[in-house]
Structure 1
Amino acid sequence: MQKDSIEIIVIEDEEDLLELLEYHLSKEGYTVTGFLSTENVEQFLEEETPSLMLVDRNLPGMEGSEFIAYLRAIGYDIPVIFLTAKDQESELEEGFNAGGDDYICKPFNPRELTLRIKALLKRAGVLQKQERIKYKMLTMDLVHKKLFVNDELISLTNLEFNLLHTFLKNIDKPLTRDFLRQEAWGQEGEGVNDNAVNVAINRLKNKIDPQNDQNYFHPVWGVGYKFH
């Protein structure tokens, strides 16, 4: 599961603030769906499974904490952060009692909000799922930088690990050698020629699929490589 598959719902009636939140969260790699009121949110939840909700307290129609209390009552347990100008102790308590997991008072720093989101996703066990990527026979442990092929530990260099991680984040997309240099080699990539990229990919292929049973790597004429 990639980070960009973590979906966040934002319910905020101030359009400018909603757009700003959507911008910052998208920049962090989340998929964001915004609503200006609670209308249509329940219908959306019947079809999608977001990982977190940001909910303004002062909403038209149904107040934010009332809406969350309602969702909790009908069985939704999605983590919720309230966005609120209501910072009195009793009002904050009201939000927690309604089923909120955290709150952030307006005006707030977008960086603080993204850190709170990350912390709540970790507590909810969502981010832990991002620590491993599984694809076909491959399992990448991103925390310990280990690769398993059919549960067998395969020794990769740092570069090979970064290269494979880049391909796994972009399955079925044609990737240029320039992009691979930038992602896998970083700053050192400037001095790496096309031939060195080809050699690194061949070495990686021989480690993860020596018999070419899976046929992972596909050259794309005039572009680079695609991982399938």
Structure 2
Amino acid sequence: MENKNIEIIVIEDEEDILELVEYHLSKAGYDVTGFLSTENVEQFLEEENPSLMIVDRNLPVTEGSEFVSQMREIGYEIPVIFLTARDKESDLEEGFNSGGDDYMTKPFSAKELLLRIEAILKRSGVKSSDKIKYKDLTLDIQKRELSIEKRQIELTNLEFKLLHTFVKNAHQALDRDFLRDEVWGDDSVNFHDKTINVAMNRLKKKIDPSGGKEYFAPVWGVGYKLV
């Protein structure tokens, strides 16, 4: 199923609604992790790499929009859909101002929620139509081709996969273990500490031979991020 391996977090304090949302998302093929409060969510974000969060506003301990605002301040760019009973215009404004990408009110249509999820995942590059654009880079996922300002750049399959991984996780620091698993996968048996450095240097020379664009930034003690 095309949604396989796309992980979504749902934070909802009413168990029946949480189970309902989990059911519809799982049925659509997504990997779903549910939380009844914001407790432990930050730790989960540190350890996993979910593609989307669905967040209620009326949550115990930390109110939903406050939590999203805190996550944005830390630097998490994960897309957020608020799913809440708060339906005033001021509530909507608070939701978007705190860092929400979309806002749905209860009662809700499961079909509409799935359509909104799909739209956001496509915009964020997690689900591609055929092409993903980032700054002046255009990746054709079907053909596995890269063009920069309409000029095609020859990449190996591994280099394309490496760049695609960074584009899907733009602005996030990606550590070596994550890159190894995502890009090299089963071929990581002969993987060495310098393998990523060599691959990154080759990729950078191909997409930015003059070094003037600086697509990537090293993150000390972690790895790299696409800026």
State the TM-score bracket (shorter-chain normalisation): 0.5 to 0.7
Q: How do 1:1-228 and structure 2 match up within 5 A?
A: 3-128=3-128, 141=142
Counterpart of 1:43, as a letter, is: Q
Q: Tell me the number of residue pairs that the alignment of Structure 1 and Structure 2 aligns.
A: 138
Instruction: Tell me what 1:213 maps to.
Output: none
Counterpart of 1:141, as a letter, is: Q
Counterpart of 2:29, as a letter, is: G
Residue 141 of structure 1 deviates from its aligned partner by 2.4
Residue 3 of structure 1 deviates from its aligned partner by 2.3
Instruction: Tell me what 1:214 maps to.
Output: none
What's the secondary structure of 1:22's corresponding residue? helix
**Unaligned regions of 5+ residues in structure 2, if any?**
133-139, 144-155, 158-227
What's the secondary structure of 1:83's corresponding residue? strand
What's the secondary structure of 1:53's corresponding residue? strand
Counterpart of 1:108, as a letter, is: F
Deviations 1:139-188 (A, max 9, x none): 9829xxxxxxx88xxxxxxxxxxxxxxxxxxxxxxxxxxxxxxxxxxxxx
Residue 101 of structure 1 deviates from its aligned partner by 0.3
Contact 1:80 1:101 in 2 (8 A): yes
What's the secondary structure of 1:127's corresponding residue? coil
Q: Scaled by the length of structure 2, what TM-score is found?
A: 0.57
Aligned mates of 1:44, 1:87 — CA distance in 2: 29
Counterpart of 2:41, as a letter, is: V
Residue 130 of structure 1 deviates from its aligned partner by 8.1
What's the secondary structure of 2:128's corresponding residue? helix
Q: Scaled by the length of structure 1, what TM-score is found?
A: 0.57
What's the secondary structure of 2:38's corresponding residue? coil
Residue 131 of structure 1 deviates from its aligned partner by 7.4
RMSD: 2.4
Residue 53 of structure 1 deviates from its aligned partner by 0.2
**Unaligned regions of 5+ residues in structure 1, if any?**
133-138, 143-149, 152-228
Aligned mates of 1:98, 1:111 — CA distance in 2: 26
Aligned mates of 2:107, 2:68 — CA distance in 1: 22
Aligned mates of 1:16, 1:95 — CA distance in 2: 23
What's the secondary structure of 1:76's corresponding residue? coil
Segments ≥4 residues shifted beyond 6 Å: 129-132
Contact 1:2 1:130 in 2 (8 A): no
Contact 1:82 1:100 in 2 (8 A): yes
